[in-house]
Structure 1
């Protein structure tokens, strides 16, 4: 699918808000970053083979201003809309699907600050993003933490806030200057998020994520021992931007769509360059074999549909953002519902499409495609891992309940220990 074509939502209020934020055309944004994306693609296979974390690629993106692409132009950023951001992330995921996932927490925190009231406090963060500072994610906990609870606490010590706790799935935090930490206040049990600087001894990061896919996203353990937090960087959880869950899910859609594009790319390369043929095949060169071309065409269609779906699903989040800017509560509520439902609908379908493409890839090639030197299996492994986040089976039920009964979808969900099965 062409990445020059996604567009602002077709509403009067959307047009007004888009003009106010003066976004560049997507092609201009994309041309700025595509040389970096290509550089990342050229080095991705070596990182996969060696399980090498992408510190260099993320530095290249920082230097190019990618982390500030959503920041308004008047503040020194790229002025991109949400659809434009995710178009770029799909291209980045095609280059290396680990990198956009590592930036997921950063862009969610950027989005939260963009939704904050205008003023000096917000401008401080916009300036940090433009300088290249990145934010990681530390929300999930494992172990004995019960569903609905959070073990990480912030409390007052010597007149300032400190954080103590342990997080897993701290995606991207190992690359970041700050961590977007989900915690609970010790004094009143209120849930908060806190921006914690990683440049202090109280924050320790571990590269201990052991998944079979998405192996270099920096999704391991982070530990907080009296980590200092400035007062202005403690945010009540109820002020979090309302379409946050949908926004997080759009990252999975973009990553899957990028993997689909990478599968199509690699099938084309391998088929064009393969010299060996089978005696029971259909042509003197595999690139002319009608059955192999059929497989390649089907993979192309799967990748196209995955990308088209992923991009379509970004539009309600853009509407939600613009409705908030305009103070239109009714439009904002409906857009938030649409964002949840459409991101879920997309994942239900796109997960299957890209997993199928990752498996069909091997139908177009011989046994040599299973060589670990090619790492072609990484596409299926990565897609399977991304698709395992926030289980698709629950999304299907939620979408069905909305479709049949008009039940509003949940906007926040948690994971933790349950009470157990009664014997």
Structure 2
């Protein structure tokens, strides 16, 4: 059995990746203003081995723990909040491979990740798909599978070498995950994501027109790693925490550099105005609280990962329920506090800081967009139901068009 990924040198990680994050941050405003997809920053991360962070050391990479991974993702989000979400599908598929038994096929995937291959996401469908159904289908061929369908919210696919596609088999009607190479003309990717936030995540439409899937690249969905829902949520949490850090940074730098002052202010310069300083302190505290909450939640996620080799079903259930519950509690807090911090930012600055050239509005737009994923109202309900009634939080769910209720004849 290969080593578990339980940690790497924090100093080495910081020395390797923080300079890259700084380069990414330097171009973030221009990319936002020009709607320029971050292909170059993605390349920098690939070349540095960022996509292989979780691969164990005995398999040729870093072997970072989940607290370390999400700490780095929050730093990356501070530089550009689009990038962690663009890599969300990739890190989830890496995690799924980590949770599988040792095999030559798993080692081949590890080798691809170490070489820099990235995985995008293709799970969600819009349009005429009923709740619980999936229109994307795989059909068996003599030496593989044929994949046809259309996905939206296909985050990260524009930067990916592979796409993790949720589909249904035409022969058995079983739900599966198909890993399809993007390097074939039958896979079409469009940059048509039109959300008001997270504009550069590559989350548009992907079409599969009888795309080829290798025989070994089809996996039963039931075998997916057990803490996947909380893992996906942690990427969004890290993105929100990074936005909070960016808001605190921009508030601090903006107040420090501001020369204009109101006649009815409390000092001759903004950086000495007690009320303005209070706002900056509130923003900093909100960002600190979200980051601390994220860090706390990552430890239960790491415990769920380390427990996956156990045969103790009671332990596995306890670890996974706790990871899901703590991710939900963290989401409730982050979804409230980070948009609030992004709004308070403008109390510390002035009307001139609303100019498009500064793109400071991106912080609120991005935070609000991230907070709209996996409805937070249901997370809060699940946490309450878990605390009061001991009901485990929802860990697998679907979205689609509601089915029409059965209509019964009117009573006489």
Moved more, 316-325 or 130-139: 316-325
- In structure 2, how many angstroms separate the alpha carbons of the residues matched to 1:366 and 1:343? 35
- In structure 2, how many angstroms separate the alpha carbons of the residues matched to 1:360 and 1:221? 35
SS in 2 for 1:313: helix
Distance 1:332 1:248, change over 3 A: same
Q: Deviations over 1:111-137 (max 9, x none)?
A: 000001112111010000000000000
Q: CA deviation at 1:23?
A: 2.7
Residue 136, structure 1, aligned to residue 136, structure 2: no
Name the residue aligned to 2:294. 310
SS in 2 for 1:314: helix
Partner residue of 2:13 out of 29, 42, 49:
29
- In structure 2, how many angstroms separate the alpha carbons of the residues matched to 1:52 and 1:255? 19
Name the residue aligned to 2:111. 127
Name the residue aligned to 2:270. 286
Native 8 Å contact 1:267 1:296 kept in 2: yes
Native 8 Å contact 1:22 1:73 kept in 2: no
Q: CA deviation at 1:87?
A: 0.4
Q: CA deviation at 1:52?
A: 0.8
Name the residue aligned to 1:7. none
Q: Deviations over 1:338-373 (max 9, x none)?
A: 111110100111111101100000000111111111
Q: Deviations over 1:221-246 (max 9, x none)?
A: 00001100011100001100000000
Instruction: List alignment gaps of at least 5 residues for structure 1.
Output: 1-16
Residue 205, structure 1, aligned to residue 189, structure 2: yes
TM-score, normalising length: structure 2: 0.96
Q: Deviations over 1:159-180 (max 9, x none)?
A: 4301000000000011000000
Residue 253, structure 1, aligned to residue 200, structure 2: no
Native 8 Å contact 1:63 1:132 kept in 2: yes
Native 8 Å contact 2:5 2:55 kept in 1: no
Q: CA deviation at 1:329?
A: 2.6
Q: Deviations over 1:190-244 (max 9, x none)?
A: 0000110000011000000000000000000000011000111000011000000
Superposed counterparts of 1:338-353, under 5 Å: 338-353=322-337
Residue 404, structure 1, aligned to residue 388, structure 2: yes
Native 8 Å contact 1:323 1:329 kept in 2: no
RMSD: 1.5
Superposed counterparts of 1:346-385, under 5 Å: 346-385=330-369
Native 8 Å contact 1:401 1:407 kept in 2: yes
Residue 234, structure 1, aligned to residue 218, structure 2: yes
- In structure 2, how many angstroms separate the alpha carbons of the residues matched to 1:31 and 1:320? 29
- In structure 2, how many angstroms separate the alpha carbons of the residues matched to 1:176 and 1:19? 27
Residue 70, structure 1, aligned to residue 54, structure 2: yes
TM-score, normalising length: structure 1: 0.94
Name the residue aligned to 1:12. none
Native 8 Å contact 1:193 1:235 kept in 2: yes
Partner residue of 1:79 out of 25, 46, 63:
63
Q: CA deviation at 1:333?
A: 1.1
Moved more, 109-118 or 400-409: 400-409
Name the residue aligned to 1:390. 374
Q: CA deviation at 1:327?
A: 3.5
Residue 221, structure 1, aligned to residue 226, structure 2: no
Native 8 Å contact 2:4 2:63 kept in 1: no
Native 8 Å contact 1:139 1:170 kept in 2: yes
Partner residue of 1:191 out of 172, 175, 192:
175
Name the residue aligned to 1:115. 99
Name the residue aligned to 1:43. 27
- In structure 1, how many angstroms separate the alpha carbons of the residues matched to 2:379 and 2:2? 31
Instruction: List alignment gaps of at least 5 residues for structure 2.
Output: 408-412
- In structure 2, how many angstroms separate the alpha carbons of the residues matched to 1:246 and 1:22? 18
Distance 1:297 1:163, change over 3 A: same
Native 8 Å contact 2:78 2:246 kept in 1: yes
